[in-house]
Amino acid sequence: MESVAGHDVRGTLPEGLGDAIRATAEEIAAMLRGTTDTSVPVPRSEWTLGQAAAHLAQANELMADLAAGQERSYGDGTPQSLAEANERALAGFEERDADPLAEMIVTQADAYLAAVERCTTDESVVTPLGPMNKTVLGSYLLTHMLGHGYDLARALGRPHMIDRTRVELSLPFMITAMPRVTDPTATARLTARYTIRLRGGARFGVTFADGAVSVTPQPPDQPDCTILIEPVTFLVMALGRCNPWGAMARGHVLAWGRRPWLAPRFPELFKSP
């Protein structure tokens, strides 16, 4: 049973999502606590450890506020606008010490769960990536923490917290967000049907028709290309933290179908915000 401040939240979120949100926040916080130098760089990023942790704390607060029904504007969903909103938010928030940021990350994750527990409906809220109900917002919160938790772990030389269960819990957000982060230049005039299969787990479909994209929980009947991918690799690659060619070379990605040559192109069709 999941609980927040003594209240049962079982049934308001998909099974395991609340536990995953809480555990991920706590694991990130445990990794940060006691870190004295937050000026170390985050690999493949322009941010320092302190900036990345501050962003994560702010983002958790944003999503907790959205779940509580507060309106918060934060870019228009495009990668450029979100990057600009991130920089503005960081410029107005001076905290960079690890311990206070660790506590804020946990506190705001709990605040999201408490807001969901108090809500009697699952009405959509406006997020940085468009309207989402609170279940998808929770998946967004988890996915965002996993991505930046991965970054923090790499900066500190510690194990990351992404696993198969948490990747599958990220899928409601991924399926909702993928059409909103396609690269119009890359998808122009493309017509193709993909099945994406997580090794040993879920699958979903992505269909392009002259550049328009549809992402569905069920794969298309006759896909042009089926991509089988190891779950952790899928999320890390989808969040722009992994080179697709390296993953393929290591055997973490396999493809087949009538047009298997479409597989290497797939990651290039999206721009991670």
Residue in the structure block whose two tokens are 């772990």: 153
Token pair of 127, please? Answer: 């997020």
To the nearest 10°, the Cα dihedral for 48, 50, 54, 55? Answer: 10
State the span(s) of the chain assigned CATH 3.30.1050.10: 182-269
Segment 215-267, tens digit of pLDDT: 999 999 999 999 999 999 999 999 988 888 788 888 899 999 999 999 989 99
- The top-level CATH class assigned to 3-173 is mainly alpha
Residue in the structure block whose two tokens are 């998946």: 139
Evaluate whether 201 touches 170 at the Cβ level (below 8 Å). Answer: no
pTM: 0.92
CA 145 vs. chain centroid, Å, equals 7
pLDDT given at position 233: 95
pLDDT given at position 2: 41
CA distance 15 to 61: 23
State the span(s) of the chain assigned CATH 1.20.120.450: 3-173
Domain 182-269: give its CATH architecture: 2-Layer Sandwich (3.30)
pLDDT given at position 11: 43
Token pair of 57, please? Answer: 């704390």
pLDDT given at position 3: 40
The SS3 assignment for 229 reads strand
Query: What are all long-range contacts of 116-123, with beta carbons under 8 Å and residues at least 24 apart?
Result: 116/9, 116/12, 116/13, 116/18, 116/67, 117/4, 117/7, 117/8, 117/9, 117/12, 118/68, 119/12, 119/67, 119/69
pLDDT given at position 10: 40
The SS3 assignment for 258 reads coil
pLDDT given at position 250: 86
Q: Report phi then psi at 219, rounded to 5.
A: -70, 160
Q: Report phi then psi at 206, rounded to 5.
A: -130, 120
Burial label, 87 (beta-carbon count in 10 A; 0-12, 13-18, 19+): middle
Residues of the chain with pLDDT under 50: 1-11
